[in-house]
Amino acid sequence: MHLSAATTHMYLSGGRVRRDADAKAVARVGCRSGAQSTRTVGAATSLASRMTKRGGRSGGSGGSGRRTTALVLLAFLVLASAIVWRKSVGFTEGQRLRQLAERRTELDAKRTRLDGEIRSNLTLRKLGAVVEKRLGLKVPADSQIILLTRPRADSLP
């Protein structure tokens, strides 16, 4: 492909040398061919100094995006730590409750066994033998036993 020399300058990028005809055409349109005015340079300088004072941002406090991200990550870390702590406390409390439930079951079984032993030891045969030996008492004959009845509550005056 062959391009003529007249159109070649259109495809070159910014740092090219302008021809006199191009410079006149630009001046006719109203564009500047030379350096920028002092007013534009002063505005750019003041904008740059303001951006440096604010931390490189054009609005708001400097680095607010990083600060917000850091705060969100910190909040997430605190929340996740609280959840892990709560679960570990719940786990240890659950273990303690299971141990207490097992202990209660063991004590209930022991109580039932002891109640059975007490009942078996309170029978007349076993208790009678102990009472006769220690206290010198004797079991009365059936004719010596008098059963007293208790009056009913509705028949009392």
Model confidence pLDDT, tens digit, residues 58-113: 555 556 899 999 999 999 999 999 999 999 999 999 999 999 999 999 999 999 99
Phi-psi region of 136 (alpha: psi -120 to 50; beta: other; left: phi over 0): left
SS3 121: helix
> Of 41, 44, 22, 43, whose CA–CA distance to 33 is shortest?
22
* Full-model pTM: 0.38
| CA 57 remoteness from chain centre | 34
> Of 70, 68, 47, whose CA–CA distance to 57 is shortest?
47
